[in-house]
Amino acid sequence: MARTAWMPQNQSMPEQALNEEILWQAVQTRDKAWDGRAVFGVVTTGVYCRLSCPCRTPLRRNVRFFRDPQEAGRAGLRPCLRCRPLASWGVDPDAARIEAVCAFIRANLEDTLTLATLAARAELSPYHFQRAFRAATGVTPRQYVEDCRIARLKEELRQQDSVTDAIYAAGFGSGSRVYERVDSHLGMTPASYRAGGGGVEISWASTACAMGWMMLGATDRGLCFVQFGATETALLDSLRAEFPDARLRPLAQPYPEPFGRWMSALQAHLDGSQPNPRLPLDIRATAFRIRVWTYLQSIPRGGTRSYSQVAAAIGQPAAVRAVASACAANPVALVIPCHRVIRGDGSLGGYRWGLDRKQALLRAESVSGR
């Protein structure tokens, strides 16, 4: 049989291999190993899914199994918008449309980009477009537009002669809209960001710990930098690279309040005597990353979650890569415990401060946190 666009990369199951008992077990365990090898349909909803679909498990009597999406389509079923089974076969019509819309957004940030306008461009209903866009990107169309404008604003702030020119060049209709959002995106005013942190004072201190060296950096609003390194010099270089024009003020012991409390809390956390330090933060992030980081703070000491579990927990099951990117971009180790996120197969995955540190943190927490 000639291969069609609907055939899986690993080929669909041969006639004699369609064992429904095994397939049903895969549905119940959400076994990702079956993605791209078979799909199941739910006759009561008219939808077909990956066998690993995170949706609520349907009743067995309503489930039918198919070798590939083409077979499910001939049975009158449509692909699930949550697990997007066509992506396992390398074919997802909505994905191509969403990618084209994203390119259109980036090229037309100065225009009014409404949901209706973007959905029409994708040739989808607003409801279908909203769901497909969020599944593909991890954020809503409105959030994506805003994130792109903030990214453009960061570029323009470095190039334009004035903050006002940068704001309008980035596609914002007014300065007030920017200042409503800078706390979550820039962590400082546009003028300060344009100056590379100029006008902002960051107090810092470092200490030797079980992870090597740990450095804390903080504004008067909260911690903006908690990182590990091999030397104090290397950590200070990282802090300068992040805030090249901020005023960096080293602190000596005894540390002033509340900085001293923050340093003590993190040291106690490493010692195992304080499970989850809840400390004030002054960090820059997109709305999506804030949601990821907020969820990470709810993972108990001694516990772990997979990247896919985090994505599902924040309501974005398709945004696994975006979750991994958010973990990698975490600027405040321990306070946002990204080390508790591992791969679905149980392996460690990545960690910006080194896998040895991640393993050591998890090992220490498994002993003291249960």
Q: Which of 49, 83, 102, 148 is catalytic?
A: 49
226 CB contacts (<8 Å, ≥6 apart)? 214, 215, 216, 217, 266, 331, 332, 333, 334, 335
User: Which one from 83, 102, 327, 338 is the annotated catalytic residue?
Assistant: 338
Dihedral of CA 161/166/168/169: which sign?
Answer: positive
SS3 for 342?
strand
Structure tokens at 195: 């100056």
Query: How far, in Å, CA of 173 to CA of 169, rounded?
Result: 9
Amino acid of residue 267? Q
Report DSSP state, residue 247.
Answer: E
Kindly state the tokens that stand for 21: 């008992």
Burial letters 194-212, b for 16+ CB under 10 A, else e: bbbbeebebbbbbeeeebb
Active site residue 80: no
CB burial of 241-269 (b: ≥16 within 10 Å; e: otherwise) equals: ebbeebebeebeeebeeebeebbebbbeb
Residues involved in catalysis: 49, 338
